[in-house]
A and B are shown apart, each in its own frame.
Chain A
Amino acid sequence: MIGVVILVFVVLLLLGVPVAFSIGAAGLAGLLWSGSFPLIVIVQQIHQSVDSFVLLAIPLFIFAGMLMETGGIAVRLVRLAQALIGWIRGGLAMAVVIAEYIFSGISGSTIADVSAIGGTMIPPMVRAGYRPAQAVSIVAAASAMGILVPPCILMIVLGAIANVSVAALFVAGFIPAVVLALAIMGYIYYDARRENIAPPQRMAAADIGEAFKRAIIPLGLPAIIFGGILGGVVTPTEAAALAVVYAFIVGVFVYGEIKWKDLPGIMARSAVVTATVCFLLAVAAVIAWMLAVAQVPQAILAAMQAASAGPISFLILSALLFIFLGAILEGLPAVVILVPTFLPVVKQMNIDLIHYSIVVTAATGIGLFLPPIGVGLFIASAIAGVTIDKVSREMMPYVLMLMIGVLVVIMFPWITLVLPRLFGL
């Protein structure tokens, strides 16, 4: 049964069939082939995986993010990041990393981050003497890191399928994101020294104050989300509803950058993005169920025990697998299909589910930007008008640094677990 599923899936995928429908048709083919299960399990699994209060956070975070993107939020955050770090050698590139860290705290979608930060930052970087391909790589690396900064759609999905608290996953992402950011910034500094890029001028104290003042309203959004969640006042889904209301008030009434007539378009786009993500997730659950009834999790567990692999090597293998699949499949379907399959192994090895989920999230983020096929890398290259081949070469050192960052997160579970434990999540 599983052989048929994989074969049909790979063939349809390569022939350009959308991932969701390749998965659906593969599941259908597998069930017809085996003949031992009623086909109705398809719709039962689909319904079960979508009917979840946790997943309701997805449309809301996407909606809030789209409301905030139309505003000049990215510009304001970049200015703030430059005020913080702009005077170091390579400071402009480092400001990209910091701005992306903050911006990810507003938007739940990594692909949206690339467009916003890339569009704002690549032109000034090129003017300051960075090669276009280099600028693209820095934005891409920063966005890959940004997936760890909550809110994050993938974390919501992981929370739903692995039955982990989404609030805990959100909080757990902060420090691993810092680790990855430091890894990227270390290389930026080394590279800037080697190529002798002049440090930007220090901003005047008054300008720094101004940059902070202008960033207060955008920073209000993560403040509400995390204040609410950490204070135990709201669930992540409810925090997302508050985020929509805040972003709406800011966009329409405070900044006036969103007109009433723009609203239907923004909502329709949010609805379509939500539907593509959740439909994929729903259909992928069918295959996850088939892997479970075919006892694939047990087979993997037995194989890991036969190889006497420990938790660290299992985490490293998982990370490599999700980097690779994240590049091919845009991350989400691989997570929905494979994470439930790996869960028995994770539990057997006494790996904390939060730790595992964060490693998977980070790996998927890197996969999105993995040369030469990561979707995010394509978008970033398109913004700068650079070919993917040129970017691929410049991107490799950053991918390496990100992988080292993930390795550090794998080796020291404390990095991930300290904050959730501190807040009793």
Chain B
Amino acid sequence: MTPLRKILDSGLEWICIALLAVITVDLFLGVCSRYVLRSTFVWYDEVARAFFMWLVFLGAAVAVRKGAHFSLHLLVDMMPPRLKSAVLLVAPLTIVVFSVTLVSLGWDLMLHGASQSTAVMGMPMSWVYASMPVGGSFMAIYAVLLLIERPGEETAV
């Protein structure tokens, strides 16, 4: 379990790092191509937008693991301990419900997208839409892990 978990955690983070690097270099080259080569790469904005979709959905999954999504704790913190530990289950459960929705609807959209392609590069839209079911799956996995590793049993990170 633990080595597998390590591969999942750091693998996803490295993919996000790579996506951000590609977006940055791609846009920088886009600017350079216009002013240095004097002929704009027509594809650079399509590439950046496709990678951005992936960055958002995979990054949102990493954020689920890190608890980085913004939430309100005001009311929960005021609750008595027993009620609080029950209420703390609501967040991961809601994340599972919405992530599974994202996976199933995103999958449908991806199948629709098989017949569409982007304007310049002719890249199938399903490659872009796939970011939603894939990212949603990782969000659901991390939310389930949050449910299993209940606070208290949690070991130091």
- Interface positions of A (Cβ within 8 A of B): 12-22, 24-25, 28, 39-40, 42-44, 46-47, 50-53, 55-56, 59-60, 63, 233-234, 237-238, 240-242, 244-245, 264, 267-268, 270-276, 278-280, 282, 328, 330, 373, 375
With A52-B49, A271-B19, A279-B57 as given contacts, are A19 and B76 in contact (CB-CB < 8 Å)?
A: no
1/0 contact string of B80-110 vs chain A (CB within 8 Å): 0000000110110011011001100110110
A234 near B31: Cβ-Cβ < 8 Å: yes
| Chain A residues, CB < 8 A from B68 | 272-273, 276
Chain A: minimal CB distance from B30 (Å): 7
SS class of chain B's interface: helix, strand, loop or mixed? helix
Per the bound structure, the CA–CA distance linking A40 and B59 in Å amounts to 22
Cross-chain contact A328 with B72 (CB below 8 angstroms): yes
B91, A21: Cβ atoms closer than 8 Å: yes
Check if A282 sits within 8 Å of B90, measured CB to CB.
no
- Residues on A with C-beta less than 8 A from B128 are 47, 51
Would you call B69 an interface residue if the criterion is a C-beta within 8 Å of the partner chain's C-beta atoms?
Answer: yes
Interface residues on chain B, size class: 35 or more
Binary per-residue interface labels of chain B (19-61) against chain A in the complex, 1 for a CB within 8 Å, 0 otherwise: 1110110011011000100000000010011001101111110
Shortest Cβ gap from B48 to chain A (Å) = 5
Interface contact B69-A244, CB-CB below 8 Å:
no
User: Which B residues are CB-close (under 8 A) to A234?
Assistant: 31
How many angstroms between the C-alpha atoms of A412 and B74 in the bound complex? 38
Residue of A nearest to B71 (CB): A18
Question: What are 27 A-B interface contacts by the 8 Å CB criterion?
Answer: A12-B94, A13-B71, A13-B72, A16-B76, A19-B70, A28-B97, A28-B98, A39-B101, A40-B105, A42-B101, A42-B105, A43-B109, A47-B132, A51-B52, A52-B49, A53-B49, A56-B27, A59-B52, A59-B55, A237-B27, A241-B28, A242-B28, A267-B20, A267-B21, A271-B20, A274-B56, A279-B60
Contacts of A244 in B (CB 8 A): 24, 28
Are B132 and A21 closer than 8 Å at their CB atoms? no
B63 at the interface (CB under 8 A from A): yes
The residue from A240, A264, A276 contacting B70, defined by CB atoms under 8 A apart? A276
A18 to B96, CA, bound (A): 12
Where chain A touches its partner, the secondary structure class is helix
Q: Which residues of A contact B109 (CB under 8 A)?
A: 40, 43-44, 47
CA distance A256 to B75 in the complex (A): 45
- Whether A17 and B91, one on each chain, are in contact in the complex, defined by CB atoms closer than 8 angstroms, is yes
**Given A56-B48, A276-B63: A270 and B20 within 8 A (CB)?**
yes
Given contacts A50-B53, A56-B49, contact A17 B71 (CB under 8 A): yes
Known: A16-B73, A55-B52, A271-B19. A60 touches B105 (CB 8 A): no
Question: CA of A165 to CA of B101 in the docked complex: distance in angstroms?
Answer: 34
- In angstroms, how far is the closest chain A Cβ from the Cβ of B49? 6
How far is B69's CA from A282's CA once the two chains are assembled, in angstroms?
Answer: 14
Give the residue name and chain of the B residue nearest to A234 (CB).
Answer: B31
**With A24-B101, A60-B24, A274-B55 in contact, is A17–B90 under 8 Å at CB?**
yes
Q: How far is the CB of B142 from chain A (nearest CB, A)?
A: 12
How many angstroms between the C-alpha atoms of A12 and B87 in the bound complex? 10
A400 smallest CB distance to B (angstroms):
24
